[in-house]
Structure 1
Amino acid sequence: MAAPTWVGHPSSWAQRALERMDAMISETDDQDRPVAYDRVAGVVVAGNEDGAHHVISEIVGGLGDIGFTIPPQAWTYGNQGPGPGPDDRDTDHGHDWSASTGRAMAGNLVAVARALAANPLPAPAS
């Protein structure tokens, strides 16, 4: 899921997407497992570091509640530093860091997706 940082919080669009996906909690597959089981998720935050960790934790928490598996280092964001400053497009600061965390994110998402495909999660105990 991708979202901007908006005054240190997820945007209303990101919140709305999570609220719509909340309906997935009660949906099950043919093995009586939540439909989000065996699906991985990560977060990309557009914007500077100021508030990015909070936005990531809010979105990851919601995705986890819905049933998605969140691998370690399943996020990246613009690393311009806190507070106002130049637009990310106007400087090279932090681009290497964002790219390397993005590559780590992609690798971890793929590795966990492959692991879940080989060993699916069981249905929750009733």
Structure 2
Amino acid sequence: MSNEIRVLYNARCPVCRAEINHYAAHTRARNLPIRFDDLNSADLAHWGISADQAARRLHVLKDGQIYSGINGFLVLWQGMPRWRALATLVALPGGRAVATAVYDRALAPALYRRHLARTARARGASAARR
């Protein structure tokens, strides 16, 4: 199996894009086998999820398995030397529980709501131009 890691993220989300751009620069500088796919242009059938599911949280594909949320971040961070220590800390039982609660209950839902608002504004602007 390939040791490539693929990350599915929302490039239209400014927060997501900034974080992924940081990771992408790190991976390029070290020639790491990590690929970043924008959910807005990726073949989501390959991922087996809908655009709405993809927009709700980070998804990572490694060795044919999809990881999402904090588990996805752990796979991504394990693949980047600079981030392995964070992955080790977050993977600890208490760390994982706290990180999952914060991500699942606060961060991911807030970013998803902002995504929906951006999408609605874009649709409204598009309709107004017609």
TM-score (structure 2 length as normaliser): 0.34
TM-score (structure 1 length as normaliser): 0.35
